[in-house]
């Protein structure tokens, strides 16, 4: 939280969903722990799950009632026999309810091709496309450009088409900075009668 608007949004979310700030923190750390391995450049960062245990051991223990409330609300689910962080996982219900915009970029990242053939220097190996100087800044820019779920779905459809037809050859960071999906929409419209990627 960096400003009063984000703080207000958080308080509204807690009130709407009927959970405490401690329960929210638990969900958020589980979310980022699940996402952890997919974020480039974070291999040296302490895992969110370790922070959860540190809080649990040094500040305040999470009660069974806290966790059962989250289970009942469908925000977390058991993956083992005990109510401990290693045997609990965040659900899409929480992620979509509080982190909708973050999930849009996460879906783009997952859909985007990881490599492209190095046609200029075949012996040099494939070129990685998911490298980014700043994941957070790229995510923020994407959400600012795309805004609505409808636009995001069109972008994902365009990326899937571009991936299948080998029409994506730039890094995901450059793709977002240049609104590369617009070029894919244009290319699609000139190569097919299917106009599902109408430019918006």
pLDDT digits (tens, 9 = 90+) for 18-38: 999 999 999 988 888 887 654
Question: Which residue, 52, 73, 98, sits at the end of a domain?
Answer: 98
Q: Where are the alpha helices (DSSP H) in the chain?
A: 4-17, 21-35, 48-58, 64-72, 92-98, 100-111, 135-146, 149-164, 172-177, 180-191
Shared domain for 71 and 17, answered yes or no, is yes
Q: In this structure, are 15 and 90 located in the same domain? A: yes
pLDDT per position as a tens digit, 63-92: 899 999 999 999 999 999 988 888 899 998
Residue 170 has pLDDT above 80, yes or no: yes
Residue 46 shares a structural domain with residue 85: yes
Q: Strand, helix or coil at 10?
A: helix
pLDDT in tens, 89-103: 999 899 888 877 777
Confidence of residue 135 (pLDDT cuts 50, 70, 90): confident
pLDDT at residue 129 greater than cutoff 80: yes
Out of 50, 80, 98, pick the residue that ends a domain. Answer: 98
Q: How many helices (H) and strands (E) does the chain have?
A: 10, 4
Q: What integer pLDDT is reported at residue 57 of this predicted model?
A: 86
Residue 18's domain spans which residues? Answer: 4-98
Q: Residue 127: beta bridge partners?
A: 116
Q: How many other CB atoms are there within 10 angstroms of residue 108's CB atom? A: 21
Inside any domain, residue 126: yes
More confident residue, 198 or 109: 109
Domain count, the chain: 2
| Residue 143 clears pLDDT 60, i.e. is over it | yes
Residues 63, 105: one domain? Answer: no
Same domain, residue pair 141 and 151 = yes
């Amino acid at each position: 939280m960096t400003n009063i608007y984000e703080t207000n949004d958080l308080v509204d979310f807690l009130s709407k969903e009927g959970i405490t700030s401690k329960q929210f923190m638990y969900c958020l750390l589980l979310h980022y722990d699940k996402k952890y391995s997919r974020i480039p450049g974070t291999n040296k960062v302490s895992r969110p799950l370790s922070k959860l245990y540190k809080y649990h051991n040094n500040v305040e223990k999470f009660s069974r009632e806290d966790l059962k409330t989250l289970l009942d609300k469908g925000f977390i689910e058991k993956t083992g026999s005990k109510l401990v962080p290693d045997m609990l996982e965040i659900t899409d219900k929480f992620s979509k309810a509080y982190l909708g915009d973050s999930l849009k970029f996460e879906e783009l990242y997952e859909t985007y091709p990881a490599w492209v053939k190095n046609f200029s220097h075949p012996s040099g190996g494939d070129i990685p496309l998911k490298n980014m100087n700043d994941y957070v800044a790229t995510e923020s820019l994407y959400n600012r450009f795309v805004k609505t779920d409808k636009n995001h779905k069109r972008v994902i459809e365009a990326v899937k088409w571009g991936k299948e037809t080998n029409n994506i050859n730039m890094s995901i960071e450059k793709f977002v900075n240049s609104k590369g999906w617009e070029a894919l929409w244009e290319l699609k419209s000139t190569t097919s009668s299917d106009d599902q990627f109408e430019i918006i």
